[in-house]
Structure 1
Amino acid sequence: MSSDPLRDPSLYINRELSQLDFNFRVLAQAMDEQVPLLERLRFLCISCTNLDEFFEIRAAAVRHAQEFGLPPAPDGMSPQAILNAIHDRAAELVDQQYRCWNQVLRPALGEAGVGILAHKSWTARQRRWLRAYFRNEIMPVLSPLGLDPSHPFPKILNKSLNIVVVLKGTDAFGRAGHLALVRAPRSLPRIIQLPESLGGPQNFVLLSAVLSAFVDELFPGMDVQGAYQFRVTRNSELVVDEEEVENLALALRDELVDRGYRPAVRLEIAHDCPKPIMQTLLQNFGLSENAAYRIDGPVNLNRVIQVYDLLPRPDLKYPPMTPRVFKSPEGIFVTAAQGDVLLHHPFDSFSTVLELIREAAVDPNVLAIKQTLYRTGKDSGIVEALILAARNGKDVTVVVELRARFDEEANLGLADRLQDAGVQVVYGVVGYKTHAKMLLIVRREGRKLRRYVHLGTGNYHSGTARAYTDLSLITADPDIGNDVHLLFQQLSGLAPKMKLKCLLQSPFTLHAGLIKRIERETALALEGKPARIIAKMNALNEAQVIRALYAASQAGVQIDLIVRGACTLRPGVEGVSDNIRVRSIVGRFLEHSRVYWFGNNGAPELYCASADWLERNLLRRVETCFPILDSGLARRIYREVLQNYLDDNLNAWELQEDGRYSKCVPAPGQPPHSAQQALMEGL
């Protein structure tokens, strides 16, 4: 046992449970009557999708730790204790999700003229139409499977919709019925929109309801005594021993084939399913009862998000926001040469970043383009611009991160497209995901070469740039340009560790750089000088950083952390963290920008980064952390991203000492303030 009191497990919140708590805050948006109705439905579906990913990645990792006897986390909980706590907390979340669906949103949607019709509410005409739809569109692609010695339990695909059917009687071969499975192929739509003649175009039926209603037609001559939908969630973390493979792309392709059938971690099943049948399923999936969740509604509730996209109901959605478009009459290169450009997405359009690459692709003076790509989305304009640049004779190098979780397959295809166009594609560094967001353009200007750089906190993805808050810096600063040049050398070649002048980078200098700056504020406080740290990020769990923050708090440093998701630091502990405040903002846009501010005795330093303060980001990934050297832009970021969010009293939640979050409300006489709304109104 360590003698360091700051290592006391009671000072740390469990990372998995903290991550689960974030989804309660998302779900609260679905219950908020001030949020438009279809947006509330979207928040409900987001909480369900987040929970899926939590089990696929986080719970699966804990189960792996249990199987291999790994030591407890910094909070002292054993893997088995964490799994038990996950079950209890996740069951509570699931209960709230389905009460929100059954008792709040579904009835409210009905009152607004949007029907998501349960089986019992179908009219006779609707039932006839749905039966015909089942026979013509669904039944031909189904392959029901009776379970007997010659038909063993089949493989069930991760997160696929399935029906377990209880049968009585004998079939054409005289076999006695017992159990059968009906698997819904991914090709079938999960939401069926009824024709206007059957009550209007805003009526929908879930595929699971149609399957349950007409499943008897798949077993003629037999008595269907029950039909219960279920869904299994599997470990989705890809495991590739990168030291042992000669070709990472080929190894990943092989892994992706099997991803859908990896070990199970969760079973969702209809709430009225008899226990013996549930036990049969658990046994076949190798799960215990603390991995089972009874569901009062569709097991794939997140699929209801399709209703949001199908309905042209602006009255039930957020008013559209038109982002500001950066004006650069003489071209972005001329503007950036005169001074740094800062973009705050989605309030500033991401089109400026796209235009920068397009301009580089056709500019005869541009010689080379280098870029990292982690996630790009389908039909990416950035990818098209890079391909155009290569075809125009530019030297284009792209670092594609093949292991970007759940985008592996898309990135393999992206790499193939780029290579076919003559782009040099690099897969990063073995053992380290390349999560940095950087773009380097080399341009001839007279007799000199000049570097233009884009650095960001978010991905080069136009879709998420409309939904996530992020920061972009476009600069021609020569020191930053040289640093980024060295980083690309490191990624594409076999260069040694290089000394950078401006940037901090993971896995080499960012972690130590953060500790150094926290300790500097600590020393200032001990000298009786003002000391302050404000940092915004998505998650925090790195133990050494947390211990440094605790020591800073003990010295009197005032620390405000704006952490969207999981936070394992425990604030408000007397004598340890009573000078630390932690808040989480959950609103219309997903908070994604990472900003670190250090008071530095009146000469503040402000950094933006691609990295959260997580162990993986600081120690096991390639990340960039870049200073904002223009004092005016630094003040703008402080005002928009830090002080603005500390003033929020409508969408903010404060982390309590016990690990729970409490919703902020305006104090008596205090005007209400929403940080995101203020930014939309042009703060």
Structure 2
Amino acid sequence: MTTDSANALKPVAGKAEVDSVEEVVTIDPTASENYFNRELSHLQFNYRVLQQALDPTHPLINRLIFCCIFSSNMDEFFEIRVAGLRQQIKYGRESTGPDGILPNQLLNEISQVAHQYITEQYDIINNVLIPEMEKENIHFVRRREWTPAQVEWVQRYFEEEILPVVNPIGLDPSHPFPRLVNKSLNFIVELDGKDAFGRETGMAIVPAPRSLPRLVRLPDEVCDGGDNLVFLSSMIHAHADQLFPGMEVKGCYQFRLTRNADLELEDDLEDLASALRGELLSRRFGDGVRLEVADNCPEELVQFLLREFGLTERDLYQVHGPVNLTRLMAVGGLVDRDDLTYPGFSPSVPKKIRNAEAMFDAIRQKPQLLLHPYESFTPVIDFLRQAAKDPQVLAIRQTLYRTGADSEIVEALMDAARRGKEVTAVIELRARFDEAENLELASRLQEAGVIVVYGVVGFKTHAKMILIVRREEGRLKRYVHLGTGNYHAGNARLYTDYSLLSCDDALGDDVNKLFQQLTGMGKALKIKKLFHAPFTLHKKLIELIDREAEYGENGHIIFKINALTEPEVMLALFRASQAGVRVDLIIRGICCLRPGVPGLSENIHVRSIIGRFLEHTRVYSFGNNGKPEIYCSSADGMVRNLINRVEVAFPVDDRDLAERLRSDLDAYLHDNCQSWELQPDGQYIQNHPAEGEERFASQLVLLERLTGK
């Protein structure tokens, strides 16, 4: 991908020769040409995900799933990021990042890039993935290909499953354009003739019921073998005339509206939960930000829809295929083809903590570090389960961000409360798109006797912490879990994250103080080992970067994070590079820092790892002149994480565990096939093994190293 002209690399001052005298020209590290735009960088990450659909080293069904993940990512990008830019313009609150691009100009560039990517996505679906699936005897059966037996089956399915729940809406003065739910599948229908009341509307809207599957498997008895799938949209198209008896259906075209789905809550709320419930109702009907329409829809109908939603050509995406490719994720569950998906594996469990009843004994002997999903999340659950049953455990405190109301973590907390232990849960209600589930979770926990706190208004609680207080030999001992990811067992099978289980006294005291700050009130307490946002994490990271700069060419910084956008951290990294420090940034998604600029960032190297698992670990490593320090964290290098949230970074100071962490980072830095290198001009170029060099895929290496698979 090439960056837009506004984001292209401009000439950078280095050394200039004036009248044969060489002069050093000072580089301004704050100049806009030294930064990439946040939103355009975000789009580039989505594009790298899409490119996995073309990678034959991934199984075919998983390649299709990558294509679907791209759709899901783009949905959220429009719902949140594009919606936010439109809001800035609407309310006259335009602002720019370090790159200096104004919102309206940025929306134009986003439209240009997004149109290019989405066109490529449909080309991949139609001309690569579907033909390859046909070769594997998996068929998406089009209407024109239905056999008489299939026509009869679809007719019966439509009458029994679709017709009873579909609700067509004719458009006339008494039936204005309906308020359609965000991202719902809909059809605009051209009609001719008069209805039973003599009305001649000419147009109707048919919302597809959200309760119906978008992809249906045809029974084997009406097919000639293989797996045969039909789209709900095809069935509605084929039988649209039954929705309007006595009228002629001249055309039926699918469309989908994406709306602003961000929630806006005031900081001075009296009841956060009640306010959030009210906002969730409005999320489904926010302002329109994108219109997707079938590419065969007549121009006059397209323009009609744009007018109805207050959108322009910039916001229009005419697509050759289903308007919601995310729903193709259902293919994996509709066909039984293990040979076309990733082989399964059993996450390993370190030997010392395999006995769930002896967790505390094992942690007292040595802290435990787990890397999910290669290593099981079960020990974290067992940690809580044993605490719930252990009569020596007096109290449990935990933060919950994305967990799920029916999780084993929640069951363990409720069990502990029912057994009379003091259990406190700090629930972040505003975890985006999990708000409704978190409200339900809070209610369940409260009913079981858990003390529920909603964190701090204005600062999302994103830190991942468990504190267990246990009586041992006449005194109280604290055990902690600190993680880089969420307490969600499903995510722990898909996301890479670290978990630390420890009974270090200083860590236990720090975590206890953080919970006091979250649940009580008062001044920030002095913390010994943890860095915590919004108080010390941002400042400490910059101090550690600047300390490394003092070591010059002997310095080495490795950050493995999901995004880098915070200006002061980027400036500090520029200073380190100018001092000669090697800076390796392993950044999954957004990177606003421009690497490779002579005199500024030539010592900064940025790579992104995209593979089977979503890279989610956050690690900050500093060479420290031969005395390395390494931290894991819940925080990315973003303003929202380092300044506007409750986050923690925790040291891994056990020698063996720290060495293991550095070995993991080394695997990412040596990846030559799943990694993409960010160039000075903004392009990401995928790495490939050199001639004669063996493939080194970091995720596969870690999988083999930790599970033997």
TM-score, scaled to structure 1? 0.98
* Inter-partner Cα distance in structure 1 for 2:37 and 2:345: 37
Give the secondary structure class of the aligned counterpart of 2:507: helix
- 1:375 alignment counterpart: 402
- 1:56 alignment counterpart: 79
Map 1:313-328 → 2, pairs under 5 A: 313-327=337-351, 328=353
- Structure 1 position 220, deviation (Å): 1.7
- Structure 1 position 668, deviation (Å): 2.3
- 1:540 alignment counterpart: 564
CA RMSD, Structure 1 to Structure 2 (Å): 1.2
CA contact (8 A) 1:194 1:201 kept: no
1:620 and 2:644 correspond: yes
Give the secondary structure class of the aligned counterpart of 1:181: strand
* Inter-partner Cα distance in structure 2 for 1:657 and 1:216: 57
Aligned counterpart in structure 2 of residue 357 of structure 1, from 379, 384, 387: 384
- Structure 1 position 4, deviation (Å): 8.1
Map 1:118-517 → 2, pairs under 5 A: 118-199=142-223, 200=225, 202-243=227-268, 245-327=269-351, 328=353, 329=355, 331-377=358-404, 379-517=406-544
Aligned counterpart in structure 2 of residue 595 of structure 1, from 615, 619, 625: 619
Greater displacement, 58-67 / 440-449 = 58-67
CA contact (8 A) 1:195 1:201 kept: no
- 2:632 alignment counterpart: 608
Aligned counterpart in structure 2 of residue 584 of structure 1, from 603, 608, 620: 608
- Structure 1 position 670, deviation (Å): 2.1
- 1:38 alignment counterpart: 61
* Corresponding letter in the other structure for 1:20: L
Q: Deviations over 1:51-75 (max 9, x none)?
A: 1011111111111122233222211
* Inter-partner Cα distance in structure 2 for 1:497 and 1:236: 34
Give the secondary structure class of the aligned counterpart of 1:242: coil
- Structure 1 position 283, deviation (Å): 1.1
- 2:11 alignment counterpart: none
* Inter-partner Cα distance in structure 2 for 1:201 and 1:358: 45
Q: Deviations over 1:551-600 (max 9, x none)?
A: 11111111000000111111111111111010000001000000010111
* Corresponding letter in the other structure for 2:322: P
* Corresponding letter in the other structure for 1:616: R
- 2:14 alignment counterpart: none
* Inter-partner Cα distance in structure 1 for 2:584 and 2:640: 22
* Corresponding letter in the other structure for 2:517: Q
* Inter-partner Cα distance in structure 1 for 2:222 and 2:680: 54
* Inter-partner Cα distance in structure 2 for 1:388 and 1:553: 52
* Corresponding letter in the other structure for 1:43: F
Q: Deviations over 1:21-79 (max 9, x none)?
A: 11111111111112111111111111111110111111111111222332222111110
- 2:96 alignment counterpart: 72
* Inter-partner Cα distance in structure 1 for 2:406 and 2:146: 40
* Inter-partner Cα distance in structure 2 for 1:59 and 1:27: 20
* Corresponding letter in the other structure for 1:241: E
* Inter-partner Cα distance in structure 1 for 2:248 and 2:682: 52
- Structure 1 position 618, deviation (Å): 0.5
Q: Deviations over 1:147-184 (max 9, x none)?
A: 11111111010000000001122222222231110001
CA contact (8 A) 1:60 1:265 kept: yes
* Inter-partner Cα distance in structure 2 for 1:523 and 1:68: 46
Greater displacement, 324-333 / 454-463 = 324-333
Greater displacement, 618-627 / 665-674 = 665-674
CA contact (8 A) 2:137 2:226 kept: no
* Corresponding letter in the other structure for 1:300: N
CA contact (8 A) 1:377 1:463 kept: no
* Inter-partner Cα distance in structure 2 for 1:242 and 1:607: 32
* Inter-partner Cα distance in structure 2 for 1:510 and 1:495: 19
Give the secondary structure class of the aligned counterpart of 2:589: coil
Give the secondary structure class of the aligned counterpart of 1:584: strand
Give the secondary structure class of the aligned counterpart of 1:538: strand
Give the secondary structure class of the aligned counterpart of 2:329: helix
- 1:631 alignment counterpart: 655
Aligned counterpart in structure 1 of residue 587 of structure 2, from 560, 563, 576: 563
* Inter-partner Cα distance in structure 2 for 1:495 and 1:341: 33
Q: Deviations over 1:111-157 (max 9, x none)?
A: 11211222222212111111111111101111111111111111010
CA contact (8 A) 1:326 1:352 kept: no
* Inter-partner Cα distance in structure 1 for 2:238 and 2:405: 36
* Corresponding letter in the other structure for 2:242: E
* Inter-partner Cα distance in structure 2 for 1:669 and 1:578: 28
* Inter-partner Cα distance in structure 2 for 1:209 and 1:421: 48
- Structure 1 position 105, deviation (Å): 0.9
- 2:17 alignment counterpart: none
Give the secondary structure class of the aligned counterpart of 1:331: helix
CA contact (8 A) 1:233 1:267 kept: yes
> Which structure 2 segments of 5+ residues have no match?
1-25
* Inter-partner Cα distance in structure 1 for 2:244 and 2:593: 56
- Structure 1 position 106, deviation (Å): 1.1
* Corresponding letter in the other structure for 1:407: D
Q: Deviations over 1:410-451 (max 9, x none)?
A: 000000000000000000001000000000000000111000
- Structure 1 position 201, deviation (Å): 6.9
Q: How many residues were matched structurally?
A: 676
- Structure 1 position 310, deviation (Å): 2.6
CA contact (8 A) 1:565 1:584 kept: yes
CA contact (8 A) 2:405 2:438 kept: no
